[in-house]
Each structure stands twice: as structure tokens, then as C-alpha cells.
Structure 1
Amino acid sequence: MTSTLKSKAAPALLARSLLAIAPLLAADAAHAGPKYSYSYVGNPATPVRAKPVSCWQTACTPSVVLMGGGYDVAEAFRWMIAQAGITKATGGRFVILRATGSDAYNPYVYSRLGTVDTTTSRNYEMVGGLDLGVTSVETLVIPSRTAAADPFVLEVISKASAIFIAGGDQADYYQYWQSTPLAAALQRAVDAGIPIGGTSAGNAMLGQYAFVALNDTVTSDEALANPFNRYMTIDPLNTSSGKFIQTGSFIGIPGLEKTITDDHFNTRDRLGRLVGFVSRIGDGCPGGVERFDQVLGIGVDEETAVLVSGPRGGVKAQLVANPYNSENTTAPYAPQNSAYFTKLARTPAQCAAKKTLDINSGVQVYRLSAQVAQPSPYPSAPQYSFKTNATFNLSSWTQQTPTTYADGSSLNGPFVYGTAGGAILGAQVR
């Protein structure tokens, strides 16, 4: 690939219609403050008694969804609902955050189990939150730093049982939300065990480090040809702003320390740029701030999500996925919905401005994959998303054993790659 065409990070595919399920919903309500917009379905005033299931006594462990964009994975939302402790007896408020866009997630989450999402060409199912005990789904569109400090916005976040950051443009999230009261409110929610997730741009903001696309997106070709090109803006490594004083990572999530996340992985051939991100953060490149072999990159395919949970020292990743969609895969990526875990085993042989990133067989990659494409085990419409048996231990890179599980999911690797001449080197199927 040699194209240098730029395009902003695309929103998740969410052309959802309120009319399609209007008979099932309480009346949708909306209002706008001078700086934000807010809408909901259900009843946010209903008393909520849900408590995160990942908290014991005074300790809470993370419940995080890293979604790769494209069609949403309903099972990941159902997992968040369960992790939030939401049942019909407890109720619960599911809050969607975005900087631009609509409230299309409201009816998608606040829906009946088994309902077909007729706004998608593949007729995937909706979340079914109404049957699972969700009493309201609320969308906040927060398009400025002023809005990110609004008392009403902060109050909604403080009462959330689960929080999901939609797709869009992570440059907006960085410029509008980084180092604001909203970011502090999200950190308090994470510390309290509230499940948090994101897709596409929302996913990009959840690691300790984030590619924030301040100068637009970057391709794998560009990252490998010059890892110091102007598009490689990584927060909080090398970003700056005249609008605010940066105080560190957007939020800190246990288990995602020294981690950077990426999305649309197979569709947009992003292994090369993830290697570039991991290299730049490590001390094998000028300006790197972490030990080179401790930085982790997590790339997630479209229609795929990684569930992150577990106690310190035992944080694990597990896949959920939609039925395999061949339209999402580009060569040489595996024809499965997958997540890719990437580290460097050695320092780059060359990492400098205006020079190619050269790493001599030092890139290690594990691939966590859902079922193979054929024979298909999936039901006909509605096509249900599913959780796999395969897991990856985020806390112990060296203790992974390649395994194929009874449900057809698998952990593969470590595959070993190199980089030279602006390209990934290695014959293995990614």
C-alpha cells in the first residue's frame, strides 16, 4: 500500500431507526443545555440499586470493552450490563458519550432480546437491555471543554451504571475531554468498578496511551516509513495543546497500563502502525518513556470486541464477536474475527525521524481468534453475537500457550515479524 490519502476516524456504523422499535420503548426525551445535548429512553428517575459485580469490599477490578468498530457487537453490551450488576430487580442507567453524532444507541441498547436491527444489512440482533433490567439509556453529546465541565453532564456520569464511548474522531475526544472534569468523573467511575467501553475512536482512548489523530489519521505505510511523521500524535507521549494543560493519560484503567489500543484492524491493515505506536512509546526510540519490551499494543478487528476483566496480576482478555463477515478482512489477515497483542522483543535497529523503522525479527504478536469462517456455526437471522472460550492473559506475556478450544476459538502465536524498508517482514498469516 502506498496511498497517503487522509480521512478522519470513521464513526461506527449506526444508522439505527427509532421507528423500527418505537412500540417497544418508553417515549424518548431530549433536551439541550447551552453547551451539550442530552437524550434518553426509559426513565432515568427510576431508583437504581445495581452494584458492579467486579467489586469486593473496598477493591474493584476492571470491566472494559475494547470494540474494533464496524457493526456493533451486542454481546459486548450485554456483558457490560451483567458486569454492572444490572438486573430487573436492580435497574440500571446505561450512558453513551460522544462529541458529535446522534442518539442512535438509545434504541439499540434499550430494546427487546432477539429483536432484529433492521437498520443493518446483515440483520444483527439488538442488545435487549430492556429485558435485562436496564431502566434507561442516555446519550450525552459533549462537543467542547466547557460542556465537559457542565454540572449536569457530570451528574449524569456520576449516576451511570455503565458507560460507553461511541465512535467518531478521537481528536475531538482529546481536545474536548482530556484534562477536564469529565475525564476526572470517568476516572472515578472506573475506580468504582463501573464498566466502561468504547468502539473505534472511543476504543482508542481507553489505553494508558492513545493515538489521538490531532493531524489526521496515519496509515501503516506512513508509520513504518517514518515513525516520527507529523501524523503520529500519541497522548500523552508527544501531544500538546494551547487550550489546556495536559496532566497525563485520559483515564487510567488497571490492566491497560503501558498499553495503546487500535481498531478497524483487519479492514484497514493496521499492524504496521500499531508496531509504530508501540515502538515510539518504548525507550528504543528517541523520546520513548517506557521500557521497550513492556509496551503492549492491542489491535481489534471490526465486528469484534475484547472484554478486559480480572484482578491485578491476572487481568485477562476474552473475545466476543459477530458472525464472521468476509467483507472486513484484507490479506494477509486471518479470515476470523480476531484481536492482536503486540510487543517488541528487542530494541529497533533504526528508529529516527525521516528514516524507516527497522526491527530485526523483534516484533512478537499473539492472535486471539473467534470461530473459523467455515463451516459456519451461526444461526440465521437474527445473527447472534457470541462470547468465545479463548482468553489471553494481559498480566503474563510469557505464559501464553497456543490453544484451539472446543468452540473453535483459538490463541495463536507468538508470531515473529520484522520491519525494514517501510514494510512488515514475515510470512506468517497475521
Structure 2
Amino acid sequence: MKYYMMSLLLLLAGCSQQGSGTDAVPALGALANAEQCGFGPRPAKPGVLQRYAVGYNEDVCVPLVPADAGIILMGGSTDVDSIFSDKVRPYIQGGNVLVLRTQGAAGYNDYFLHLLQAASVETLLVDSRDKANSDYVRWAVQSAEFIWFAGGDQSTYISNWQNTALQQALHAAYQRGAIIGGTSAGNTILSSIIYNPDGVGSAVSQEVVQDFCDTNIAFSPDFLNAPMLGNTLADTHFKQRDRMGRLMVFLGHHQQHLLTGIGVSERTALWVERNGHTEVFGEHEVYIVRSDQQTMFRQTECAKPVIIDDMLYYTLRAGNHYHLFNHTSSVPPSRLSINGNNSVFYSPANPY
């Protein structure tokens, strides 16, 4: 059945490029109707909801195996093709792809349609709580085999989506076995603690190390509720924007919870399996940062420079692994300290 579906989708993609899908669409429709997932027909779309779609217009039911699903944490800038082709395409078997954002347009549609050999790709601009609570958005989220959160502003994602039907449907999709991922702001909202300055600004390492309670530091609670990302805090554009300092300060705000910081650099992605195993894809590094018995939070008080000694961190490159449950890796860790009293606040001076 899987190979039959894939061949139909390839035929449909080829026909759509030539302007005629008359042979493939009825066959794909028959297959979809034969394997109903029980979500019912597509609800009416609210007139104010912006939708961009390519491919087949109905829900194609694909049997998913939750234990084999994963989460993609991408660091921003150019997307990492290899993680989509290696992890998403064979798993969703020509299923439906949903892209969620609060601004932008259809930039992912053709890219995902062809790279993932998907039956359809739909982008929704869900920029209000009313839209996030609509039956249409609920249906689109819970019926997708792959859900992707585009980059943007995580504060708009949390303010419009937290505690809505969209979030409930996301949890249902996760339980069903959908792959879920995001880049930049779309990555940030997937960890259990979310850096969310709520539109005030963006924390800069050089500034926040000088004041533990900098006004750009704020957090929101878990949005996805994925167990393998429990007690994590994700950050993006990591090496390129020197965000090691700010991630260490963020961890200082949650030192009692022993969080694991996940800093993903641009053009890089981390695949996270449900058993806690991870793998790096792309051009640059992922940094795993956490405290242990040797770490000392010497000064973490408002209006004072931050002093943290001996934070543990791992520099992971393409093909490297880290286990988020037992905190093991074949890559040896390093130690890093910060002192906001100093102009060069890292020790050693270059953490990258």
C-alpha cells in the first residue's frame, strides 16, 4: 500500500507540473476514501483565515507509528533539506503537511510538496485566538502527518495559540504520531520552557550577563508537552548571534529545575526521537548546555552581573548524538564560565 501511494503521489506531482492531474487525482481520491482516519470532512474555512494550499485537497490517511516519530529543532536561516528527506519523507509516506505561522505567505508550499513527495501542503496564517479556536484549524492540525512551525515571532505564537483548539489538536496529532518541527521562533516554542520576551525585544548575551533580570528576559510554559523535551529550553541562530551567554543566563533563571539548554545554529537541525535520542543534521553545530554538581551559580541576582562557573556543554556536529534522558554522548563535554563584570565575559574566551 505504501509504494502504491507513493507512486500515485509522484504521478500527481508530475502531472501538476504539466497542468493535468486527471489520471492521478481519482486514484488518490479512492485511496483516501478507502483509508479514513475518522476526522470527517474538511470544515468550512473562516473567511478571515488566510490559507495557501497546493496538491490534493482531501485528507490522505497514512498509518503512523508514534514510537518512530520525532521532533525537528531547526536553527533558522536556510532550511536543512537532509533532515526532511531522511526523516520526514519516508515516515509520512505521502501524507498531508501543514505549515503554521502568524505572518508571511506560501514560501514552504512548493518546497515541501516536492521534497517530501507529499499529497498536499497547506499553510495557515493563524494570527488571532478566534482563528486558532476555529473548527477548520483544529481539523487541519489534527489530521496532518507533518506539522511545521515557520520562523517569525514566538510571542505572537504563544499569545494567539496557547490554550486554544490549535494547541489541543497539536497534542492530539503528537499522540497520533505526527512529526512536529519548527525553525527559529518555530523551534523555540517546542521546548518545555519557552523564551518569550512578548514583543519587548530580544535578549543579547552581552547585555543580559550584566543584569540577571534584564527586561528582555521572560518565559512561557510548555506549549507542545512532548516528554522527550521535558526540562529543556531551546534557542536558535545560536553561534551566529552569540547566544551562549544568554542561554546560560536563562538556565540560571531555572537552576532549580536542572534544565537542558539546546542551542541550534543556523542551517543546522536536531532530530529528537521519542526515546530521547538525538542526531544533528546540517552545516554547523548544536550546543547542549546544562549544569551538574560542579557548576556554581555564584551570582544570579537582579541588577547585578551574572557569574556562573563551570557550566557543562557539548558541541555537536552533523552525525553526532546526544541522549536527552540519560545525558550521554560520544562527544566529550567542555566547561564554560561567564562573569558579567568582565568585558570578555566568557572563560575560555571563545565558547564556539
- After TM superposition, the score normalised by the length of structure 2 is 0.83
Specify the SS of the correspondent of 1:225. coil
Give % identity: 29
Does the C-alpha gap of structure 1 residues 25 and 51 become closer, same or farther in structure 2, counting only changes over 3 Å?
Answer: farther
Deviations 1:283-315 (A, max 9, x none): 3xxxxxx2xxx210000010000000142xxx1
Matches within 5 A, 1:201-350: 201-214=185-198, 215-236=200-221, 249-283=222-256, 290=257, 294-311=258-275, 315-321=276-282, 324=283, 337-345=284-292, 346-350=295-299
2:303 paired with 1:354: yes
CA displacement at 1:213 relative to structure 2: 2.2
Deviations 1:96-130 (A, max 9, x none): 0001110110011112xxxxxxxxxxxxxxxx223
Does the C-alpha gap of structure 1 residues 26 and 74 become closer, same or farther in structure 2, counting only changes over 3 Å?
Answer: farther
CA displacement at 1:25 relative to structure 2: 7.6
2:161 paired with 1:177: yes
Equivalent in the alignment of 1:96: 99
Could you tell me which amino acid in structure 1 is paired with residue 238 of structure 2?
Answer: F
CA displacement at 1:277 relative to structure 2: 1.1
Deviations 1:58-110 (A, max 9, x none): xx465100000000111222245346x333xxx31011000111011001111
CA contact (8 A) 1:26 1:41 kept: no
CA contact (8 A) 1:35 1:142 kept: no
Q: Could you tell me how far apart the structure 2 residues matched to 1:300 and 1:230 are?
A: 24
Could you tell me which amino acid in structure 1 is paired with residue 252 of structure 2?
Answer: S
Q: Could you tell me how far apart the structure 2 residues matched to 1:141 and 1:26 are?
A: 29
CA contact (8 A) 1:110 1:129 kept: yes
Does the C-alpha gap of structure 1 residues 79 and 44 become closer, same or farther in structure 2, counting only changes over 3 Å?
Answer: farther
Equivalent in the alignment of 2:62: 50
Give the one of 86, 90, 94 matched to 2:92.
86
Q: Could you tell me how far apart the structure 2 residues matched to 1:257 and 1:37 are?
A: 33
Equivalent in the alignment of 1:4: none
Could you tell me which amino acid in structure 2 is paired with residue 319 of structure 1?
Answer: V
Does the C-alpha gap of structure 1 residues 166 and 80 become closer, same or farther in structure 2, counting only changes over 3 Å?
Answer: farther
Equivalent in the alignment of 1:129: 116
Deviations 1:151-171 (A, max 9, x none): 111111111011000000111
CA displacement at 1:400 relative to structure 2: 2.8
CA contact (8 A) 2:244 2:351 kept: no
Specify the SS of the correspondent of 1:104. coil
Specify the SS of the correspondent of 2:272. strand
Q: Could you tell me how far apart the structure 2 residues matched to 1:343 and 1:65 are?
A: 20
Equivalent in the alignment of 1:64: 71
Specify the SS of the correspondent of 1:110. helix
Give the one of 8, 17, 26 matched to 1:23.
17
Could you tell me which amino acid in structure 2 is paired with residue 308 of structure 1?
Answer: V
Specify the SS of the correspondent of 1:213. coil
Could you tell me which amino acid in structure 1 is paired with residue 106 of structure 2?
Answer: D
Q: Could you tell me how far apart the structure 1 residues matched to 2:321 and 2:262 are?
A: 14
CA contact (8 A) 2:321 2:330 kept: no
Q: How many residues get paired?
A: 310
CA displacement at 1:355 relative to structure 2: 0.5
Give the one of 360, 363, 378 matched to 2:311.
363
Structure 1 or 2: more helix by fraction: 2
Q: Could you tell me how far apart the structure 1 residues matched to 2:136 and 2:326 are?
A: 41
Give the one of 322, 336, 347 matched to 1:425.
347
Q: Could you tell me how far apart the structure 1 residues matched to 2:19 and 2:135 are?
A: 28
CA contact (8 A) 2:321 2:329 kept: no
Specify the SS of the correspondent of 2:298. coil
Q: Could you tell me how far apart the structure 1 residues matched to 2:145 and 2:56 are?
A: 14
Q: Could you tell me how far apart the structure 1 residues matched to 2:48 and 2:170 are?
A: 19
Q: Could you tell me how far apart the structure 2 residues matched to 1:25 and 1:271 are?
A: 49
CA contact (8 A) 2:235 2:264 kept: yes
